[in-house]
Amino acid sequence: MNILILGGGGREHALAWAVLQNPKCDRLIVAPGNAGIAQIADCATLDIESGPAVVEFAGENAIDFVIVGPEAPLAAGVADDLRDAGFLVFGPSKAAARLESSKAFTKEICDASGAPTAGWARFTDAASGKAHVEASGAPIVIKADGLAAGKGVVIATSVSEAFFAIDDMFGGAFGDAGAEVVIEEFMEGEEASFFILCDGEVALPIGTAQDHKRVGEGDTGPNTGGMGAYSPAPILTEAVAERALNEIIRPTLAEMARLGTPYQGVLYAGLMIENGAPRLVEYNVRFGDPECQVLMMRLGGQAFDLIHAAAEGRLAEARVNWASDHAITVVMAADGYPGAYEKGSVIKGLEDAPEDSRRFTFHAGTAERDGRFVAAGGRVLNVTARGDTLAEARDSAYETIDSIDWPEGFYRRDIGWRALGGGET
């Protein structure tokens, strides 16, 4: 098959790496890709948020199957345009992608299907939002309804902080995404991510992960897109996963089908788990980044068969071949991230970094200049490894990091600490 992956980060590098291990793949194009992806696949320049542009490109290149990586093309309806033009696609329709593009929509689905989640209310003006905060007290969670690149959520520890967030959102800090604001009850517990392939009807779990959102060691400092992740997530035991499937995921899929917008693609459920009971924090309609890197490292080439089965509506007959292994990914970021950072610093040692079926350095934001890799983003590399234990995977990943020579970059030395027994690094 000729396969097109849309996206150009570490997630798409990991997807490309897994797809290429599957003999069904004849040709792989990634658009736009990055300098690391270009080492293993063809990269193409393309406006991936334009349905007509992607349809034309897929036609010209005799593409048989399109895998959509990020949420923006899904929210823009690129999967719909491709399907209308007769292409096989992995990823939900624009209507089903509302599970990520509108927080209020997801809350309505939870209410309609009885899925446990934080209590909530929606507001279109600041005064009524503030009245609600005053009546509820703090801590309380203030969210811009729409897509805000992971920045539209404020956990307010005081009423005045909540007021500030409400004014900020209605004041246009997130553009149209903040035209409506969702205010939620603050949930206690431990967070974990659950990844489920869906074909419109059937839900097939393909793994669990936990990520580290804070920039600093000990989970301190500002929020980022994720500084590392590991799989499996110990807190998401089989019993918790079964409850999440029965109480949250399957009811969601049934409600989406009932609404006439069946969900096909990967559903990434952010769960808050307290005393063995999962509640939904949020859905994403794509793989997590960098969570995808640890999932692909563990699944290998079968990931493609599963993704393909989801796109063709064949998940009822699909099976995951589970290994009792662990994977970890450590993000190397440019100095200054998540604030302002420089681009263009040279990264050395990548050519000699060990790469096999148990460890691989996925590129999140690199470019090629004069035959050398240079940093081209905030999160730049995802050093990923697999092991029989999490400690073995962790040691393997940090061994690779030690062979990479990039003085202008930094990383956290404690990825996985919680699962490794708290504090141990």
Nearer to ligand AMP (CB atom), residue 9 or residue 387: 9
Give the nearer residue to ligand AMP in terms of CB position, either 52 or 216.
216
- Residue selected from 105, 163, 186, 398 as contacting ligand AMP according to rule CB under 6 A: 186
Using rule CB under 6 A, residue 270 touches ligand AMP: yes
The rounded distance, in Å, linking the Cα atoms of 395 and 93 is 41
Output 81 or 291, the one with its CB closest to ligand GLY.
291
**Segment interacting with ligand AMP, rule: CB under 6 A, options 186-194, 346-354, 379-387, 408-416:** 186-194
289 binds, among ligand AMP, ligand GLY, none (CB under 5 to 8 A by kind): ligand GLY
Least distance from ligand AMP to the Cβ atom of residue 151, Å: 9
**In angstroms, what is the minimal distance from the CB of 397 to ligand AMP?**
23
Q: Considering CB distances under 5 to 8 angstroms, the limit depending on partner class, which of ligand GLY, ligand AMP, none binds residue 291? A: ligand GLY
Element (H, E) at 166: helix 159-170
Q: Could you tell me where the beta strands, DSSP code E, fall in 297-410?
A: 326-334, 346-347, 359-363, 366-369, 372-375, 379-387, 409-410
The answer to whether the beta carbons of residues 197 and 306 sit under 8 Å apart is yes
CA angle 272, 423, 408 (to 5 degrees): 95
Find, among 114, 113, 15, the residue nearest to 67 by Cα: 15
**CB nearer ligand AMP, residue 175 or residue 407:** 175
Q: What minimum distance in Å lies between the beta carbon of 2 and ligand GLY?
A: 28
Residue 141 within binding range of ligand AMP, rule CB under 6 A: yes
User: Does 282 help bind ligand AMP (rule: CB under 6 A)?
Assistant: yes
User: d(Cα 294, Cα 360) in Å, to the nearest integer?
Assistant: 10
305 binds, among ligand AMP, ligand GLY, none (CB under 5 to 8 A by kind): none
Closest to 12 measured CA to CA, from 293, 266, 210: 293
Q: How many CB atoms lie within 10 A of CB 101?
A: 21
Q: Which residues pair with 303 in a beta bridge?
A: none
Of 29, 55, 118, 295, the one binding ligand AMP (CB under 6 A) is 118
CA atoms within 13 A on the CB side of 187: 22
The residues that touch ligand AMP, with contacts defined as CB under 6 A, are 118, 141, 153, 155, 184-187, 191, 270, 281-282
